[in-house]
Structure 1
Amino acid sequence: MTSPNSPEPVPDVEPTTSAPHVRAVPEYPSHRWGFGAFLLVEAVLLATAAFVGVFLGRGSLASLPVGDVLVGTMLPTLFAALAALAITKLRGNGPVIDLRLSWRWDDVRVGLKFGVLGVVCTTVGVLVWTEVVGEHNATSAISALVHDKPMSVSAAIAMFGYLWLLGPVCEEIIYRGLLWGATERLEWGKEKWGRLAAFVLSTAVFAVSHLEPLRTSLLLVIAIPIGLARLVTGRLLSSIVAHQMNNFLPALAILLTTLGVVSG
């Protein structure tokens, strides 16, 4: 006998759908978290960033030690993602069901395809955007932090691993996971907002939440293929893979720059 709060088994077969490019997803047990959970996670992210900034802040950005740069870059997003996972356990059915976070090779393949699309879109977007704002203003926040800051090989590899692999996992849990799931629960009249609304809102919030106003339009271009991967499969792994694909070249460029292999 199962308890009233026990999740129903998740069906392994996807039903058919009339939409030609968006796969239908099976019905999942409902969860008890919504936008409040996402706002709480965003508060954790901002509070952690503020705390780390106050605790580590000693002078200008250029004078920050390498260790402080690593901690300040990684901790806020990592803590926020852990808070999101905890919420799904405490107020829902866990991340596998609530965030659609499961392993499927099909999702990896879809993520790789949208990742390639993302690299193309990002490359074109960066070229156009740099022409508009000028090369001096085209530097991302993380690039500015590590500019002219020599790193040990271990520190540079740690930064590369975070930017390429771990950071995208954390951000996808927050935006295409928690925010997406909260948006899908919203109703307009008697109709749920659904996956298209979740795609639009999560893409916009992802771009704005980086708190780099000048780069928001570029971040929108970057975010669209990543969100499309989530929209097409209905699961989170595909957008994680697409995000990692998109981050690989920028992360590699920062790695080579911090090691002094190429000039910044």
Structure 2
Amino acid sequence: MTQLHSREPSDVADTDQSADERRDHKWGIGAFLLVEAVLLLSFAFVAAIFRPAEGQPLSVAAILVATMLPTVVATGVALLVTVLRGNGPKIDLRWSWRREDLRAGFKFGFIGLLCTTIGAVLWTKIVGEENANSAVGALVDDTHLPIYAAVIMFLYVWLVGPVCEEIIYRGLLWGALERLNWGRWIVFTLSTVVFAVSHLEPLRTSLLIVIGIPIGLARLFTGRLGASVIAHQVNNFLPALAVLLIALGAIPE
């Protein structure tokens, strides 16, 4: 007698969904370029609106808006693209929150945290302490934010920012490159490099590549965005904590 074997629906979705089916959306590289243009234009707009008077520091509102608004707006456009030109973010961006994603995300996140810590120490010795700050760190330099603003900054850098960046780079860009039928390692490499370069911090590009590799591997080996989001959040915890403590004046810049 033939024994029938059943599989969970989620397993069927992963194993039976062909590569062509996963790439049946109508958006591609053009959509990613649109999102990047929105990101850059948003930065330029915020910089023009909140430009301080000569010799004056940035206001608290300017720091928060400059840190968060451009990326959030660009992420909204990315999600809208998947709705209007595809099957929605869950299908097009391979979004999920499974236990396997959490396990893989934490594993690659802690690996990334170790690599990032070592890389940051070596990189700081090469470029010097004065050039070692990230763009976010530079914003809070010499500015003691009120507690509410420092906490908002901490939560954004730790939790919200990684979600936005993963949607753009390991979601939209990854899906656009997959649609070109390039190998998955090429997709991983290109998305990692673009992720690093897109931060527009030339001195930190090599360090950002180191940061991006474990995060990209989480996306590569699971095939889903949830794992890379978790990995990114784990990796960002210590930098976010440092920004919080600097903003509060608890540790020197």
TM-score, with normalisation over the residues of structure 1? 0.88
State how far apart, in whole Å, the 1-side matches of 2:169 and 2:53 are.
Answer: 32
Report if aligned partners of 1:183, 1:194 keep a CA contact under 8 Å in 2: no
Using the TM superposition, give the Cα deviation of residue 61 of structure 1 relative to its aligned residue in structure 2, in angstroms: 8.6
2:52 and 2:223 map into 1 onto residues whose CA distance is: 44
**What is the distance in 2 between the residues matched to 1:232 and 1:40?**
28
Deviates more, 1:85-94 or 1:56-65: 56-65
**2:197 is equivalent to residue 197 of structure 1:** no
Please give the alpha-carbon distance, in whole angstroms, between the structure 1 residues aligned to 2:39 and 2:55: 20
The change in CA–CA distance for 1:254 and 1:93 in structure 2 (over 3 A counts) is same
Counterparts of 1:26 and 1:62, CA distance in 2: 56
1:128-139 aligned within 5 A: 128-139=122-133
**1:62 to partner: Cα distance:** 6.2
Give 1:249's aligned residue: 238
How high is the sequence identity, in percent, across the aligned residues? 60
Larger relative helix fraction: 2
Q: Counterpart of 1:148?
A: 142
**Residue of structure 2 in register with 1:83 after alignment:** 77
Is 1:262 equivalent to 2:251 in the alignment?
A: yes
Task: Kindly indicate whether the alpha-carbon contact (under 8 Å) linking 1:13 and 1:26 is maintained by their aligned counterparts in 2.
Answer: no
| Equivalent residue number for residue 167 of structure 1 | 161
Superposition deviation, residue 43 in structure 1: 0.5
What is the identity, as a one-letter code, of the residue corresponding to 1:241?
Answer: I
* Aligned-partner Cα distance in 2 for 1:226–1:104: 17
Gapped regions of structure 1 (runs ≥ 5):
1-10, 16-22, 187-191
- The residue type paired with residue 41 of structure 2 is A
Cα distance change, pair 90–257 in 1 and its aligned pair in 2 (3 A): same
The question of whether the paired residues in 2 share the 8 Å contact of 1:81 and 1:174 is answered with yes
Aligned to 2:11: 13
Aligned-partner Cα distance in 2 for 1:25–1:86? 27
Q: 1:211 aligns with which of 200, 215, 230?
A: 200
* Cα distance in 2, alignment partners of residues 51 and 25 from structure 1: 45
The corresponding residue for 1:39 is 33
CA distance in 2, matches of 1:260, 1:232: 40
User: What secondary structure sits across from 1:93 in the alignment?
Assistant: coil
Q: CA RMSD for the aligned pairs?
A: 1.8
Q: 1:24, 1:234 within 8 Å by CA — same for their partners in 2?
A: no
Alignment partners' CA distance in 2, 1:137 and 1:247 = 19
User: Which deviates more from structure 2 when the two are superposed, residues 58-67 or residues 73-82?
Assistant: 58-67
Cα shift at 1:108: 0.9
Which secondary structure state, in structure 2, belongs to the residue aligned with residue 63 of structure 1?
A: coil
- Unmatched segments (≥5 aa) in structure 2: 1-8
Please give the alpha-carbon distance, in whole angstroms, between the structure 2 residues aligned to 1:218 and 1:207: 8
Aligned length, in residue pairs: 243
Shift in CA distance, 178/231, structure 1 to aligned 2, threshold 3 Å: same
Q: 1:13 is matched by which residue type in structure 2?
A: D
Alpha-carbon displacement from aligned partner over 1:121-175 (angstroms, at most 9, x marks no partner)? 0011011111111111111111111011011111000000100000000000000
1:82 is displaced (CA, Å) by 0.5
Counterpart for residue 44 of structure 2:
50
- Alignment partner of 1:151: what SS? coil
Q: Equivalent residue for 1:18?
A: none
Matching of residue 120 in structure 1 with residue 109 in structure 2: no
| 1:26 maps onto 2:17 in alignment | yes
Q: What secondary structure is seen at the aligned counterpart in 1 of 2:53?
A: coil
Paired residue type of 2:252: S
Measured in 2, the distance between the counterparts of 1:180 and 1:60 equals 42
TM-score normalised to the size of structure 2? 0.92
Post-superposition CA distance 1:59-99 (Å, at most 9, x none): 36961101110001100000000000000000000000000
Q: Partner residue of 2:216? A: 227
